Amino acid sequence: MKEHKDYDIIVIGAGLVGVSLVVALQNQGLRIALLENHIPIASPPSFDIRPLSLSYGSVLLLRTMGIWEGLESLACPIETVHVSQQGALGALHFRASEHGVPALGYVVPLGELQRVLYQRAASQTSVDIIPLQTITSVHTVAQTVHVDISTVTETRTLQANLCIAADGTDSTVRQLLTIGTVQRNPSETALTAELHFSKSLPYCAYERLTREGVWALLPLKNPQRCRLVWSAPQEKIEAAMHWDEETLRVHVQQIFAGYLPPLQTLQRGAVYPVRSVHATELGRPGIILLGNAAHTLYPLLAQGFNLGLRDAVFLAEKIMQARAAVRSLGDEQLLHEYEAARRVDQRWMRGLTLGMHGVSEWQWPFLNRGWGLGLLAIDGLWPVKKRLAARLMGLRGRQPLLKGVPNFYSQGA
């Protein structure tokens, strides 16, 4: 087995969050190994037209990182977010104009974001991208992390001061470290479709809580189209997969009755599992879990990548601070500082998505009516609504110390 020690940081996983960390650390003089076993990413990324919702705070971060310029022409603004409970009075509305921002967020093609991030990471001379097959061991010896990997051509050991595991919900690194997880409702599934309407739609994202699960709509660049994501217990989605197009079309119209113009056609998309998985620890000294490896959220209010991006940028900040203080990146202090910086935001998003998901499981009408009245009350309480909007936009609390990122709504947590 070859020994190799050339790196300050090893990043395992070249998905959106892992590559975002590498880009956030650009021009810092760090020697980084980026490992990925997904061949279309380890070579050039494949084109994926699935829409991804970016919060306004995420757009500010991407702009500061020099990424947004390559996406802006493809982006669709989200000017309003509408949250409601079927069968209940009241709804909660967030409007960009109320909060002094051009948009609450933007919808971009996922594959295009991946491409722009990947190209920026790959263009750095201090970054080595290593396609791998398996990781067999991750362990620390005297503040040096040893990562044993197998590639197509060899088995080797990489060494670095710090290892970042951004290797997804079923993280191999997390399992090798025997870090536990808390999981909820593993049998949930999401059905997706692209909807085509007879008239143009407002640039509004809808979140509709029903007894049949959560129905979400994302606006698209074409104003007569939008993206549907229906998350529900697996048996409900499996039954819906046997519906013909007309049955599903009528069902969508019933769920969003009064909110949408006539639905002309729909095109079914992918069906994928929906999971809530949270690691009981964010890592060990010298090894930090990031992105879905640390916390996989329910796809409610489109917070998954946005939370992961904030985590990545804050971690980059802590790494830069440690280097400025001439501290080892493998010491325990870096992990503790990162945990402290991210604790409130992570708990907030975990609690919010779990809470909203729980509401969709209620089968008692009086509870649904109570939730609807609660939405109506929040909609009328500006201080509460303002704080919640700032949280959803990724602008609540202290912002990372990156040039160009304003500290909006920064008071308190």
Let me know if residue 97 belongs to a domain: no
Query: Per the domain annotation, does 371 fall within a domain?
Result: no
The answer to whether residue 152 sits within a structural domain is yes
Q: Residue 348 is part of a domain; what is its CATH number?
A: 3.50.50.60
Beta strands in 13-100 (DSSP E): 32-36, 51-55, 76-78, 80-85, 91-95
- 3-state SS, residue 147: strand
Q: Are 274 and 299 in contact (CB under 8 A)?
A: yes
Residue 413 lies in a domain: no
Q: Which residue segment(s) compose the domain that 129 sits in?
A: 2-62+109-182+276-361
pLDDT, position 299 = 77
187 in a structural domain? no
CA distance 257 to 241: 22
Q: Which residue in this structure is represented by tokens 């990489």?
A: 158
| Structure-token pair, residue 211 | 């007894």
The partner residues of 4 in beta bridges, in order of sequence, read 158
pLDDT score, position 44: 46
In-domain check, residue 41: yes
Which DSSP string corresponds to 34-57? EEE--HHHHSSPPP---EEEEEHH
Where is 371: in which H helix or E strand? helix 365-380
Residue 369's pLDDT is 54
pLDDT reported for residue 366: 44
pLDDT of residue 403: 45
| Whole-number Å distance between alpha carbons of 98 and 132 | 48
In DSSP terms, which residues pair with 31 in a beta bridge? none
Low-confidence ranges of the chain (pLDDT < 70): 1-5, 38-49, 88-89, 185-186, 301, 357-374, 376-377, 401-413
- pLDDT per position as a tens digit, 209-253: 888 889 999 999 999 999 999 999 899 999 999 999 999 999 999
Q: What is the pLDDT of residue 212?
A: 87
Is residue 42, in this structure, part of any structural domain at all? yes
The count of domains in the chain is 1
- Residue 297 CA to residue 291 CA, distance in Å, equals 10
Q: Give the pLDDT confidence score for residue 143 in this predicted structure.
A: 84
Q: Residue 244 domain-assigned? A: no
**pTM: predicted TM-score of the whole model, two decimal places:** 0.90
The CA distance from 17 to 134, in Å, is 20
- Tens of pLDDT, residue by residue over 111-135, are 999 999 999 999 999 999 998 889 9
